[in-house]
Amino acid sequence: MSRDDEYTAYMTARLPWLQRVAYLLCQDWNRADDLVQTAMTRLYVNWRRARSVENLDGYARTVLVRVFLAEQRTAWWKRVAVVRQTPEPAAETLDHDSNLDLRAALAALPPRQRAAVVLRFYCDLSVEQTADVLNCSTGTVKSQTSRALAGLRRALDPTVELT
């Protein structure tokens, strides 16, 4: 199997998962697609190294999270494209109120806290694995996760008093 065939087979199988992780990070399907596209490009460029790692999904996820965090550090005008015509609104999707509340609460978190929560609880990574992806210490992961969970609790149940 050629290099391109291996890459195509992997991306075909893992694309929906990468899109879901990206959506959880940025809360916008269009932006999630952009993040995945950038991550896919970086993965393709480094495919020789990537295909030799023990955990390819972990490698791809790390690339995706780092693309997201790098984008968060750039100025808003570098992320916004001005168009002459507004795009047609997306079709309405049915969703439960609790899912909408959780998405809104997740979107309100700062980017690194959001990334920590997504990696720890959606991707089911350990503290050490999350620290490796975020390129920080385990203590930072713990504090970011703790602050994120406190923020989610406040957003989802304002009557809860946190100390």
- Is the domain covering 1-80 a CATH 1.10.3430 domain? no
| Residue 72 confidence (pLDDT) | 85
Find out whether 128 and 138 touch, Cβ atoms under 8 Å: yes
- DSSP for 83-146 reads -SSPPPPPPP----HHHHHHHHHHHHS-HHHHHHHIIIIIS---HHHHHHHHTS-HHHHHHHHH
Per-residue tens of pLDDT for the chain, all 163 residues: 888 899 999 999 999 999 999 999 998 899 999 999 999 999 999 999 998 999 999 999 999 999 999 988 876 556 566 666 666 665 555 555 666 778 888 889 999 999 999 999 989 999 999 999 999 999 999 999 999 999 988 888 877 665 5
Q: Which of 78, 58, 48, 68 is nearest to 109 (CA)?
A: 68
> CA 56, CA 54: separation in Å to the nearest integer?
6
At 143, the amino acid letter reads S
| Residue 84 confidence (pLDDT) | 66
Find out whether 35 and 22 touch, Cβ atoms under 8 Å: yes
CATH of range 94-163; options 1.10.10.10, 1.10.3720.10, 2.30.30.40, 1.10.260.40: 1.10.10.10
Helix (H, G, I), strand (E, B) or coil at 74: coil
Q: Domain boundaries in the chain?
A: 1-80, 94-163
| Residue 134 confidence (pLDDT) | 92
